[in-house]
Structure 1
Amino acid sequence: MRLVVTSEQRYQRTPDGRVWSTTGTANDFWQRYRAVFAEVRVVARVADAPGRPPRAQRVDGEGVEVYGLPYYLGPVRYLLRLPRLRAAVRAAAGPGDAVLLRVPSAIGTLLHRALRRRRSPFGLEVVGDPYDVFAPGASRHPLRPLLRWWFTRRLRAQCRAAAAVSYVTERELQARYPAGPGAVSAAYSSIELPRSAFADRPRRPPGAAKVAVRLVSVGSLEQPYKGVDVLIEALPLLVEAGLSASLVHVGDGRCRPGLERLVRERRLGGRVSFAGAVPPGAPVRLFLDDADLFVLPSRTEGLPRALIEAMARGLPAVASRVGGVPELLGGAQLVPPGDPVALACAITALAADPDALAAASARNLARARNYAAETLARRRADFYRALLVVTAPDRVEEVVSGAD
């Protein structure tokens, strides 16, 4: 049976028909659905490219097909292409397909409307929170309050109507966007950490309070909600507190020039560096292993992959209290979003306490093991089988026996 799954990823197609990703959500990501479904059709925006982009990974192949939608970037181009998008999305899923919408998503919403008219069952993977995405400071869109209200209301309605709903958090998203009565519900992260992602042991306590502190942050710079500007604003406060603090940010995007300008304005040129886009996996782990402290100053999150990867390396961390982050960290390691003073205080306090650094390392490594690949693969497969059952009840015997 085929699974049709929507995605907000943006892909590129070369003249030979192959589809490529520069964001890491490539073929290996979509293969996880094939634990239950024979074929996977990914519904996403695809732009034509003259050749394979640098560092790109193949998306299609081995039972994975990409159903390309008209390419757009931003709300204006979305509206201009809306008639074509609606027609393309309606044709993406046939009567015999199982459908899974990764939400919140404009593409997922378009397909949801088509399914509702057909009275077709569908499942959801809730991977983010529009209430936080459009929070003050997280988005600069002039219609931010309206978009926050609309997308939050829309996601609640989708969760109530879905036959099966999974969440990347254990509690946070479930409370704000509850599934409807009788729906199958599950909790698992999209992250998949192989054994090589985990450190062998926690970090040893430093002999004394840290004075030279190497900070690392990881995340896309396409939107301001990762809060890297807040971390940059906190750096002068760390220096005033007597720390020789430096920061490396791993990730790239259109906000980078503005952040580089902020670094110059704060005269932090010798303390902040941007590594740019780095391939996932071992290359990112090199930056994590070289740091003393991971910082996630996001204004919004679902369940952040970057934080879990840092925790798996036994890296102490400080993060904003948003989304599912409180399910990973607690106490003094959590700060309000958008508050450079609170962020600087938390970093300073942790760096000054060798025992706290060692305890955070051990706690983070132990907590991250809950996101090992084999553990999450079982949870996902159970949910996908349930989705297949509610989509094709005449095949319950096959599903239960694992025939698909």
Structure 2
Amino acid sequence: MKTVFIHDHSFKKYNGRFFSDGKLTDRTWKRYLNVSNELVVIAREKEVFSPQGIENLNETTLNKVKFNCISSITLIDRIFNYKIKSFVESIIKDVDFVVCRLPSFLGSLAFDIAIKHKKKVLVEVVGCPYDAMRNHGSIKGYLIAPFEAYKLRVTLSKSSNAIYVTKKFLQDRYPCQGSSISASNVELCSVDSFAEIKDHVKVIKFIGSLNCKYKGLQDLISALALISPTHKDIELHILGGGSKELYQQQASDLGLDRQISFHEPIKGGVPILNWLKECDIYVQPSHTEGLPRSLIEAMSLGLPCVATNVGGIPELIDDSFLCKPKSPIELADRIKKLLDSYELRIEQSQINKNRAKEYAFDTLQRKRFDFISEIVEK
């Protein structure tokens, strides 16, 4: 059997090899290769010409995975999509099973083509386009948010099979009329040791793209300024790619230069867990989310966590340590609760470890395999 996976994800291409920042890796591809002989990936690609362009990225090494990527998708391509549609259709016609990861332009296009050709289709719902677009930071994003949300609702209303990364949030907004399960894309590595809960808290950590304002890093830096007068040795460590000038200027304006450190991206899995382990509190101040990988990874290590009440995050964190997005004052208040109470940190550490067990690799792999096998055997 032959399967095609479609999403707007952008891969780095170097000497004919394909690399990802950790979201789509060999481990992901094995989900579909368990039920098929070959997997074709349709996505975007950006060619790089030096090894520096692929540093700390994960390479797809499986021989059964073939890439058919598009170098760029312009606004014109989205409006007049005949050329891209023909390209996608030429591949879908020759496969048995179609996996559309949504929201995405390519995924939506592929879904309609797959239905037209009566293919077996699975929709993976990994985020809310309405929240993402409304928090994009542009007028265009704000205006098209309702249309993108409507498009996803229509797709799910026609879909026979869906996997949601959340337990309830995305299901309520974008209900599937057919069969569906909840199975997060976060598949945790086994943890051989946990973070140490110390008497004195010094290090707060954050992971997220610096180019995405909706990750809420500006709010976290503002919250740090509110915390700093009473916790003078507190440090914020930031891990993520992108431009840091905006945040460096904000830190400088608030007199926090010496308390904030920026770190270049590292490979997912064990390297991320090792980086997080040297931490006292993890903070996820996002304005929009599906189900954030880094937050669950932090929880699996037994780290006390503070986060915003967006997307699927309330499914993870106790209400006492949730706050409204874009509210540095509330964010600072929740962080200070943990800073000021060793007992609370111990309590939250245990709660988070237990909740993270639901995202163990073997548990999710079996759940997903059983569901996909049922689809392809129909």
TM (normalized to structure 1)? 0.87
Q: Which residue of 2 aligns with 1:11?
A: 11
Question: How far has the Cα of 1:220 moved from its partner?
Answer: 2.0
Tell me, in whole angstroms, the C-alpha distance in 2 between the residues paired with 1:356 and 1:129.
32
Letter in 1 for 2:89: R
Contact 2:97 2:119 in 1 (8 A): no
Identify which of 345, 351, 368 aligns with 1:363: 351
Q: Which residue of 1 aligns with 2:19?
A: 20
Q: Which residue of 2 aligns with 1:199?
A: 193
Matched, 1:296 2:284: yes
Aligned length: 376
C-alpha change, 1:375 and 1:224, in structure 2 (3 Å) is: same
Tell me, in whole angstroms, the C-alpha distance in 2 between the residues paired with 1:221 and 1:95.
40
Q: What SS does structure 2 have at the residue aligned with 1:291?
A: coil
Tell me, in whole angstroms, the C-alpha distance in 1 between the residues paired with 2:192 and 2:282.
15
Question: How far has the Cα of 1:79 moved from its partner?
Answer: 4.3
- The range that moved more, 145-154 or 17-26, is 17-26
C-alpha change, 1:243 and 1:172, in structure 2 (3 Å) is: farther
TM (normalized to structure 2)? 0.93
How much is the aligned-residue C-alpha RMSD, in angstroms? 2.1
Aligned runs of 1:50-61 on 2, under 5 Å?
50-52=49-51, 53-59=54-60, 61=62
Q: Which residue of 1 aligns with 2:145?
A: 148
Aligned runs of 1:41-52 on 2, under 5 Å?
41-52=40-51
Tell me, in whole angstroms, the C-alpha distance in 2 between the residues paired with 1:253 and 1:185.
36
Aligned runs of 1:155-194 on 2, under 5 Å?
155-180=152-177, 183-194=178-189
Q: Residue by residue, what CA displacement relative to the aligned partner does 1:303-339 show, whole Å, maximum 9, x if unpaired?
A: 1110010001110000000111111111211111110
Contact 1:2 1:97 in 2 (8 A): yes
C-alpha change, 1:251 and 1:77, in structure 2 (3 Å) is: farther
Tell me, in whole angstroms, the C-alpha distance in 1 between the residues paired with 2:344 and 2:317.
13
C-alpha change, 1:85 and 1:96, in structure 2 (3 Å) is: closer
Tell me, in whole angstroms, the C-alpha distance in 2 between the residues paired with 1:40 and 1:81.
28
Contact 1:198 1:313 in 2 (8 A): no
Matched, 1:225 2:214: yes
Q: Which residue of 1 aligns with 2:309?
A: 321
Letter in 2 for 1:199: S
Matched, 1:354 2:351: no
Letter in 2 for 1:171: K
C-alpha change, 1:56 and 1:96, in structure 2 (3 Å) is: closer
Percent same amino acid among aligned pairs? Answer: 29
Gap runs ≥5 in structure 1? 394-404
Q: What SS does structure 1 have at the residue aligned with 2:258?
A: coil
Tell me, in whole angstroms, the C-alpha distance in 2 between the residues paired with 1:302 and 1:198.
27
Contact 2:223 2:328 in 1 (8 A): yes
Q: What SS does structure 2 have at the residue aligned with 1:166?
A: strand
Gap runs ≥5 in structure 2? none
Letter in 2 for 1:352: D
Question: How far has the Cα of 1:80 moved from its partner?
Answer: 8.3
Question: How far has the Cα of 1:67 moved from its partner?
Answer: 1.5
Q: What SS does structure 1 have at the residue aligned with 2:5?
A: strand
C-alpha change, 1:24 and 1:190, in structure 2 (3 Å) is: closer
Aligned runs of 1:242-257 on 2, under 5 Å?
242-254=231-243, 256-257=244-245
Q: Which residue of 2 aligns with 1:279?
A: 267
